[in-house]
Chain A
Amino acid sequence: MISHLRTMWLVFIHLFRKKATIEYPEEKVELHPRYRGRIVLTKDPDGGERCVGCYLCAVACPVDCIALQATEDENGRRYPDFFRINFSRCIFCGYCEEACPTYAIQLIPDFEMAEYNRQNLVFEKEDLLIDSQGKYPGYNFYRVAGLEAGVKKKGEGEHEEKPVDVHSLLP
């Protein structure tokens, strides 16, 4: 009996608590910046595509929903020729973001992706690429990589010495 009354009392006082639910969709939910939602491809500070087509996101994906093809521009800079994510398979685990060595692929706080037609959940590069650096500003992979891809010359990157003069015997 006492237990019943206690329960009713508890329910009653909850009427005056702050609401945990919101009036979605009129009211938008507030998400944390690291919320794992929709996947995007970001750009580096110089406006170039960050993705270098290394296939690490694809191989890390437990549901194999990422497919891409790497290609190269005239400077030898790698970028994806196509980049496809099948969101109808994606489980938003964020492994792709974790695997990405260039901060290109990022999960953003947006989950509003419902579609009536499943085919519309197949996102191509045009749908994924955003004109922003996303969560990790300032990083440009080609400035720290060894190879020359039109971003910097050999030996002009961060932590790089001038190219070796093969004809010199000096230490």
Chain B
Amino acid sequence: MSTIFIDNKQYEVKAGKNLLEACLGVGIDLPYFCWHPALGSVGACRQCAVKVFRDENDTQGRLVMSCMEGIRDGLHLSVNDKTAKAFRSQVIEWLMTNHPHDCPVCDEGGSCHLQDMTVMTGHDYRRYHFKKRTYTNQYLGPFIHHEMNRCIQCYRCVRYYHEYAGGKDLNVFAAHNHVYFGRERDGVLESPFSGNLVEVCPTGVFTDKTLREHYTRKWDLTTAPSVCHHCAVGCNTIAGERYGQLRCITNRYNSQVNGYFLCDRGRFGYEFVNSENRITQPIIRNQAVEAVDETSLLEHLRTLLTNHTVIGIGSPRASMESNIALMQLVGRENFYQGISDNEVFVERRIEEVMQSGVIKAASLQDIQHSDAIVILGEDIWNTAPVMALAVRQGVMKTAAQHALENRAIAEWHDAAVKEIVQQEKGFLANCTIGASPLDEISSSIIHKAPEDLARLGFAIAQRLNTVLPAVQLNDEMSTQAAIIAAALQKAKRPVIISGAGLYNEALIRAAFDIAAACKATATEVHLAYVMPECNSMGLAMMQASGFENAVLRASRAKNVAAIVLENDLYRNMPAQITDVFFNNCQHCIVLDSLNNATTQHADVLIPAASFAEGDGTLVNYEGRAQRFYQVFVPANKNMQESWKWLMKMRLIQSGAAIDKPCHPEEVLMMGEQLLPQLKGISTAAPRRDFRVNGQALPREPHRYSGRTAMLANLAVSEPKPKQDGDSPFTFTMEGYSGMPPSPLIPFFWSPGWNSIQAVNKYQEEPGGSLKNEHAGKLLFEYKRDATPVYFKDIPEAFVVRTDKWLLLPQYEIFGSEELSVYSKGISERSPAAYIAMSALDADQMSLVNGSLITVKIFEQLYELPVRIHANIPKGVVLMPSGLPGVPAMAWNSWVQIISIKL
């Protein structure tokens, strides 16, 4: 800690920071543009000027940019100095000479950092009477709208897109006062992290194009803290609603999970909530009038549930509450995971490894701070994009730390650090099947078949701990194993990443062995297993058997009624198996939010609330249980959370009356009793009766408009506000108006800070953790002294077969996830089905890119265009997983190529 004096008042601040961070950290409003906690300082915008004095007797002082000046003990500075204030307001005035008269039609308005800073410096009247500079805009794809006139040349976009996220197609062009931020020519921004430009840009140059379709100002949104449902990382988001429609997703800062940034799938994948394909009405099929109301539905279910053997099919994309409620309803022995046995087997192993507590689960923060990363077999760029972004930061930060050793340069001094680092990188070994954008920052790049990757993993572990059995590898792989092992041996905070993506259990074991072997030399080892869907880990923790067992059960037992919970079984299982299941079930009750192939087979179809219309808890890949809150009450009363429907079904099954409502924490407590491994999950979020000074927390900001007119077309008398018994939130603007505790932040706002930059005010220090941060509940307990039990079962090496290819999934960030594809932009970015193979194999058959080949997979023929990749190992073909309209494949099976059309 250092003592500094700001305007003659003494403050204790953290050493090693810069003056801007210090001022913001102690709550002083100091305007800035180019500085960003995640990007560091470059001193480009000249906005954060303060006066620094030689000592307490100095009255003259000198103007410095506070973001470029480090803290010195005993430093005297002045923020309110007349010259400094005049300087700052003149800088804004210069910036505004060219800023267009656009605010009323600018999507940034009301959450604009430039507006806030202009007001903060006091500039209010344009004195400049000459012409304004203009630019033409570019088309940047379905997510981002470009309006270049509004630019203030802070360079944040390029620094974020280029240096932070590793994108290549956004840059700065031209010279002097003509600089232009955009692409070389019109076209889609390629980086899957482009959506963050909306939040990084302090003005309205880059705005959210999906929000534009149904534009709403920030102050008019009803918002609630939410958790992203589009992959297993569980990024914290803020979801906003207006007029009964979900309007936008913004980032909810959290130092443990996603920090400042989201991926485009998470940010723009929300449109399924507003989809026309939503299920809106309970339906009982095969009767004269199929649409029914709640009473007759429950009456019908009473007979169904009491006269049949009821089995439940859980879901990796439904909340913990819903899965627990289903298990409670059907009984533990009648509950099945709605995924294939293969997947259950792999995920069970992951859960077992994490449960053993030998190795700590890696949060994204741990990954960002690691000094060596090994990725074993998981294409995280596509399955957990924000984790890939964290890996990139880990690599960059390690290089920066190496560069700064023995140098008196601060970490935040971005341009200087980049200058010293040049092309240096921290250690990253990317061992996957095919090429990934992470390859360009990797020190070791290995693309092999899954078994070979697992063998490589075991070989690395063996080099770290020679007690383990040796693995026979060829020279090339052996050298690579030695390089990776050497890097891990030197590392103090290594992270090993693997995942369930390839359905290969050996990879899971190999990753564990490496991590366990690292424990000897490293101070802290972390392990991350990427799971396929948002609540896969939660479902895996329920330790139920897979779908094939449910199929067996249905075909053996008579009189089976199945309840399928929010799960399109045709996406997870080959159609033949699923068809057998539906043919053998006497009745099928399906709860889901969207119509899909599975809901077609439902005898009873029940509309389920989406994440925005209901409460729930998700368990992310590291076993972190996080609560998402209902954003709005849908106009359609039939859309209720699945767990509410299931709890009602439980009551009518037991013959009790449905008299009092049930709440999420009660369901979670039931889960804790049923499954001891879920202990603590009910404490993941504050209880529903949590109040601050006796007040609930409002979902709407105090400037929310249109309260007495928005429904006046229906009835001029305003209805009673909706009540929320499940959470500490209200659906109005009434309630506690101060800063809510960290898991209950519905929006970031502070007086004078209307943009997302207000997050500064919610943090302990800029870029640090939130005040009283409570980032969910970690369900896996780390046992420091647990002795690792190594896996010694090493798989055989992969052998190329003649005329047969091993079929493996290729994940696509846009397209492979079920719900996000309903967004127009995401489906536009999603590729058409293809089959990818190695250049060596393609040469042998003289295939070229785009040749049509017919492959036979389990007696099914598929004709697909070929994509040739140099990096895919021989004897393997990849097909995109989960694209809409492409049926589920039997992964890890051998396929034949029947015919070729060149």
Contact = CB atoms under 8 A, between A and B. Distances in A.
Interface of A: 52-56, 58-59, 61, 63-72, 78, 84-86, 88-89, 101-102, 118-119, 121-122, 124, 141, 144-149, 154-155, 159-169, 171
Contacts of B173: 166
B713 A55 contact: no
B105 interface: yes
A69 B180 contact: no
B132 A147 contact: no
A80 B710 CA distance: 14
A55 B705 contact: yes
A84 B133 contact: no
Nearest to A141: B104
Contact of A146 (B100, B130, B175, B706): B100
B208 to A, nearest CB: 14
A165 B703 CA distance: 42
B709 A89 contact: yes
Nearest 10 Cβ contacts at the A-B interface? A146-B100, A67-B706, A54-B104, A58-B705, A67-B709, A64-B707, A146-B149, A67-B710, A86-B709, A86-B712
Given A147-B100, A154-B136, A164-B135, A89 B214 contact: no
Interface stretch (B215-223, B443-451, B647-655, B869-877): B215-223
Given A72-B212, A164-B174, A65 B708 contact: yes
Given A54-B104, A146-B150, A160-B131, 9 more contacts: A58-B706, A63-B708, A66-B709, A67-B706, A70-B215, A84-B710, A146-B100, A146-B134, A159-B130
B94 interface: no
B243 interface: yes
Contacts of A54: 103-105, 109
B102 interface: yes
Contact of A160 (B132, B217, B703): B132
B176 interface: yes
A15 to B, nearest CB: 46
B708 A166 contact: no
Contacts of A124: 713
B147 interface: yes
A162 to B, nearest CB: 7
A58 B220 contact: yes
Q: Could you say which interface size class chain B belongs to?
A: 35 or more
B176 A171 contact: yes
A85 B175 CA distance: 49
B308 interface: no
Main secondary structure of the interface of B (DSSP, over half): loop
A52 B105 contact: yes
B300 interface: no
Contact of A53 (B150, B215, B712): B215
Interface in B679-716: 703-710, 712-713, 715-716
A146 B130 CA distance: 14
B134 A163 contact: yes
Contacts of B147: 146-147
A163 B712 contact: no
Given A102-B104, A124-B713, A159 B131 contact: yes
A171 B178 CA distance: 9
B705 A67 contact: yes
A25 B105 CA distance: 43
A15 B703 CA distance: 53
Contacts of B133: 161, 164
Contacts of B212: 72
Contact of B716 (A119, A148, A159): A119
A124 B243 CA distance: 16
Contacts of A61: 705
Given A64-B707, A146-B150, A159 B132 contact: yes
Contacts of B131: 159-161
B792 interface: no
A59 B217 contact: yes
Contacts of B102: 145-147
Chain B CB within 10 Å, residue with most, of A63, A68, A146: A146
A53 B109 CA distance: 12
A164 B710 contact: no
Contact of A166 (B110, B180, B715): B180
18 contacts: A58-B705, A58-B706, A59-B217, A67-B706, A67-B710, A89-B709, A118-B716, A118-B717, A122-B709, A122-B713, A146-B134, A147-B102, A147-B147, A163-B136, A164-B134, A165-B178, A166-B135, A166-B174
A3 B706 CA distance: 56
Contacts of A171: 176
Contacts of B707: 64
B100 A145 contact: yes
Interface string B31-70: 0000000000000000000000000000000000000000
Contact of A56 (B104, B174, B713): B104
B14 interface: no
Interface in B186-226: 212, 214-217, 219-220
A168 B174 contact: yes
B637 interface: no
Interface string B146-157: 010110000000
Contacts of B771: none
Contacts of A147: 100, 102, 105, 147, 149
Chain A CB within 10 Å, residue with most, of B147, B150, B175, B178: B178
Nearest to A60: B705
Given A59-B703, A146-B150, A166-B174, A78 B105 contact: yes
Given A59-B217, A164-B133, A145 B105 contact: yes
Contacts of B103: 54, 101
B490 interface: no
B170 to A, nearest CB: 14
B104 A59 contact: no
Contacts of A70: 215
A160 B709 CA distance: 39
A163 B110 CA distance: 27
B713 A84 contact: yes
B222 to A, nearest CB: 14
B783 interface: no
Contact of B217 (A55, A144, A149): A55
B134 A86 contact: no
